[in-house]
Homo-oligomer: A and B are copies of this chain.
Amino acid sequence: MKYIIIGAVAGGASTAARIRRLDETAEIIMIEKGEYVSYANCGLPYYIGDVIKDRNKLFIQDAASFKRRFNIDVKVRTEAIEIHPSEKKVTLLDLYTQKTYTESYDKLVLSTGAVPIKPPIPGIHSANVFTIRDVHDTDLVKAVIQNQKVKHATVVGGGFIGIEMMENLTHLGIKTRVIERAPQLLAFLDEDMALLAKSEIEANGVVVDVNNGLSEIRDNADGSKTIKLENGDEFQTDMVILSIGVLPNNFLAKAAGLEIGQKGGVLVDEYMQTSNSDIYAVGDVIEFHHPICNASYPIYLAGPANKQGRICANNIVNGNTKKFNGSVSTTIVKVFGKTIAATGSNSRLLKNHNIKHITSITHSSSNAGYYPGSTPMVIKIAFDPESGVLLGAQIIGEEGVDKRVDVFSTYVQNKQTIDDLMEFEQAYAPPFSSAKDPVNMAGFVANNIMDKVMQIYNPEDAIEISKKEFLIDVRTPEEFEAGTIPNARNIELDELRNHLTEIPKDKTIYVFCEVGLRGYLASRILVQHGFEVRNLSGGYRFWKNTYG
């Protein structure tokens, strides 16, 4: 058998290596238009930021080692320019010699990745305007930083790669400004969680514009640039990093007549097979049925690309036997001292897809509060109000965020419920967790909501509610004095049982405390005395840090 794989990084290289392990005698050719194969795309921002100091560390394998170890022919600087599905051939262009030639295949794998979006904005093609997609881009940016005096950089686009670039540039001492056209950064988060992310970024001296697109890049005489925003603001910068987003690199696939999805990704079935049974596709170039939303989406993540590669190789060699079950978009990004992560679908996405859900916000410690080094985290989960199935989780904190998002990821992937969160048996010793893990706590609170043991109101509604409803701050007088929600009156939790007569029975009572726990206890006392009560999800702390 003869296999050709187009694209030799995450998805492609994984497919090729696994094919070899399954079939020692196959002829395997990997085609890569770039100079490098099998490199760590995800490390590129950190290499720019000097966090990864040794450029060699970015390379896992090269063409020679692929030959030696896997007996795979890797053709670098070779671009696949056309697929001829009926003849089972590909036309290749040798970028050194500029000569074309064809190779036949029995099975073809597309792992051509994604292409960065470059909107037709004046000045976008001028010098020192970069996208970060591969080693070449990275070398260019690194050289500019090293050789020119870059004092100020502008990152256009607040997705996770933009944010990583912002962090790394800041780390190098470059003043950085982030511009995002959408109303918020980090689209994988809900607006409220994104506000927390924004605060963290601003606290590190970075200027952030949201709701404001790039409208023009002008070159100045001194080598600097003037950036003009959609709202008319202008400022000077030395370098521009575009991370506005990517699109599936579907050029070859489209021309070959393969079915393409609504979002531009190559459509594959669960075996990674395209509409042509001899062509498979994996990685950023595909789109796939989303396990939560009833739609298909591209997945621009390395984990799924690697896993799809292995599955694809199995199916190519052994016939279609192994299924890919979709990605729940588990995402994580380090932002200075904080870690920001999410899995499943956020509220915005769920709303767009008309999926009923309740959200619940909790605050927890990374490990036992009595043991040194514990740090706070905020967790927001979304779940189905009837079945309790967990639909998504978002977390911001310092330590232990990656752990909790991974645990939530298993529950989202397996369509498990709030009950499962409650039962989660964490490894508990004081340095690592608490007797009730943050995941359990999110489960307990959601369970109370589902069982109507507690009714909640959401932080985004707090101000409106405060204008017309009976609002009680159940924190201590000291906490109340230091700041509260407008119009709230103060009845401390531990005194509540003695002040019941002061509370009207004909109105819904809205309570809140610092994080939600005392508000919950207050609501239990009141409800059992015949009041109708709502507790503020996430408490004063979350409200204050977002809409307050």
Which residues does A use to contact B, with CB under 8 Å? 10, 20-25, 40, 42-43, 46, 51-52, 57-58, 68-69, 71, 160, 164, 301-307, 310, 325, 327-328, 330-334, 339, 341, 343, 368-372, 400, 402-403, 405-407, 409-411, 413-414, 416, 420, 422-433, 435-437, 440, 444, 453, 493-494, 497, 520-521, 524-525, 528-529
Contacts and interface: CB of A to CB of B under 8 A. Distances in A.
B331 A427 contact: yes
Give the one of A22, A40, A424, A428 with max B CB within 10 A. Answer: A428
B402 A310 contact: no
A419 to B, nearest CB: 9
Shortest 6 CB-CB distances between A and B: which pairs? A24-B528, A332-B427, A403-B403, A57-B370, A302-B435, A402-B432
A141 to B, nearest CB: 17
Nearest to A310: B444
A43 B413 CA distance: 34
Copies in the complex: 2
Contacts of A440: 303, 307
23 contacts: A21-B453, A21-B524, A24-B524, A25-B528, A42-B368, A43-B430, A46-B371, A52-B370, A71-B497, A302-B435, A303-B426, A303-B428, A303-B440, A307-B440, A330-B425, A339-B432, A341-B427, A402-B433, A406-B426, A409-B426, A413-B423, A413-B424, A413-B425
A372 to B, nearest CB: 7
B69 A521 contact: yes
B430 A40 contact: yes
A332 B410 contact: no
A313 to B, nearest CB: 12
Given A51-B371, A402-B433, A414-B414, A428 B528 contact: no
A306 B424 CA distance: 12
Given A24-B529, A524-B24, A528-B24, A42 B332 contact: no
A332 B429 contact: yes
Contacts of A327: 425
Contacts of A413: 423-425
A494 B58 CA distance: 22
A315 to B, nearest CB: 14
Contact of A430 (B46, B369, B436): B46
A308 to B, nearest CB: 11
Contacts of A426: 303, 330, 406, 409
A370 B524 contact: no
A407 B437 CA distance: 13
Contacts of A52: 370-372, 430
A24 B414 CA distance: 37
Contacts of A410: 407, 410-411, 420, 424
A511 to B, nearest CB: 14
A317 to B, nearest CB: 11
Contacts of A427: 330-332, 341, 343, 402, 405-406, 409
A429 B521 contact: no
B422 A307 contact: yes
A302 to B, nearest CB: 4
A76 B404 CA distance: 37
Nearest to A409: B425
A164 B425 contact: no
Nearest to A520: B21
B430 A42 contact: yes
B333 A429 contact: yes
A165 to B, nearest CB: 13
A409 B40 CA distance: 30
B302 A428 contact: yes
Contacts of A425: 303-304, 327-328, 330, 343, 409, 413
Given A409-B424, A414-B416, 16 more contacts: A22-B524, A24-B525, A25-B528, A40-B370, A42-B428, A42-B429, A42-B430, A52-B370, A69-B521, A334-B429, A339-B432, A341-B427, A400-B402, A402-B432, A407-B410, A414-B420
